[in-house]
Amino acid sequence: MGEYEQAMQRCDENVKFVVFRENTDSQVPIYGTHSGKDEGVDFFKNLAKMFEFGDFIMEESIVADNYVIRFGKLAHTVKHTGKVFNSLWSMIVCFNDAGEIELYRMHEDTAALEAAMQISR
């Protein structure tokens, strides 16, 4: 079992990963809603294909009921352009009663990401 599949063991069968927006985007494969463990694995694999990971700094964390909210800043290099993507980020994670992740919602600066990817709209 690979590392992504191991990570999915901590997730509900119907987990949703909502990344930046709910709808998919043909130019940015990580955008959109990724439902279920298989799509979660694909999401993390796409992240690894897109980025050379750099700084990922968590500045604060808030816990309330079944939610954890975290935020910080990052700097990753887009592999196909060599450009650095700098952004503030926030993450909302919701757990079910069994302690499994049922929602993972990520927010980052999409304009900065698309500029680093050299996407023009």
Indicate which CATH number applies to the domain containing 105. Answer: 3.10.450.50
Cut 0.85: pTM above it = yes
Q: Which domain holds residue 12?
A: 3-116
Q: How far is the C-alpha of 120 from the C-alpha of 65, rounded, in Å? A: 41
Q: What is the DSSP letter of 99?
A: S
Does residue 13 belong to any structural domain of this protein? yes
Does residue 121 belong to any structural domain of this protein? no
Does residue 110 belong to any structural domain of this protein? yes
**Residue pointed to by tokens 């060599």:** 82
Say whether pLDDT at 1 is over 80: no
Q: What is the pLDDT of residue 121?
A: 84
For the chain, the domain total comes to: 1
Q: What is the pLDDT of residue 2?
A: 84
User: How many residues in the chain?
Assistant: 121
